[in-house]
A and B are shown apart, each in its own frame.
Chain A
Amino acid sequence: DAGVTQSPTHLIKTRGQQVTLRCSPKSGHDTVSWYQQALGQGPQFIFQYYEEEERQRGNFPDRFSGHQFPNYSSELNVNALLLGDSALYLCASSSEGWRNTGELFFGEGSRLTVL
């Protein structure tokens, strides 16, 4: 049973560029959340997708957008990259019943470096 998979694992961009990160949830999961983890910090919630809609959003600007596909996979897009966007981007999946269990399954993340 494949867990949460993310791609790419590493990427380097320059300021002003745009980036797309991808996530495939664990089998049987229908909800995907994205987190940004700056170096030496705890992850910060970006947004959550369920039924192809953004259900919740953290304190991130509109440059951060996402999408969920009918197969539950998800993309995170960041426009007009800033140096401060350099971070590890974590994808986490769960089932709709997660509010009872509270458990998220995380991928290994995509390390984004903005130069």
Chain B
Amino acid sequence: AQTVTQSQPEMSVQEAETVTLSCTYDTSESDYYLFWYKQPPSRQMILVIRQEAYKQQNATENRFSVNFQKAAKSFSLKISDSQLGDAAMYFCAYIYNQGGKLIFGQGTELSVKP
């Protein structure tokens, strides 16, 4: 069974500092995608970053980057120069090609201190 685990229920970071959110997953598939979604208090889930498993290069999107370790089944999110607007729940998610459904982790609540 495919599972996604986020072991950090809560994280805190000082504004302008860097924070890393952890995620591990379990799958027997070789072709899949991994995501980080952000859910602010407005509740709308917003895609932060996406990684294709067949790509060795780590994905980056402005201040957001990932450390994808396929053999270790690890997928962490690094947020650089943290801003107050980054405060939200962050969910790691997985889907295998042709799978049709996202499997989410339990989430990490990130707070940003001014």
Distance of A112 Cα from B104 Cα, bound (Å): 20
Chain B interface size, as a band, is 20 to 34
* CB-CB under 8 A for A55 and B50, given A42-B105, A42-B106, A108-B43: no
Look across to chain B and name the residue whose beta carbon is closest to the beta carbon of A104: B102
B35 near A102 with CB under 8 A, answer yes
Minimum Cβ distance to chain A for residue B77 (Å): 15
CA distance A44 to B46 in the complex (A): 16
CB distance from B90 to the nearest CB of A (A): 10
Asked whether B47 lies within 8 Å of A55 as measured between CB atoms, the reply is no
* A104→B104 CA distance, assembly (Å): 13
Taking CB atoms and an 8 Å cut-off, the chain A residues in 29-49 that contact chain B are 33, 35, 40-45, 48
- Residues of A in contact with B (beta carbons under 8 Å apart): 33, 35, 40-45, 48, 55-56, 58, 88, 90, 92, 99, 101-104, 106-109, 111
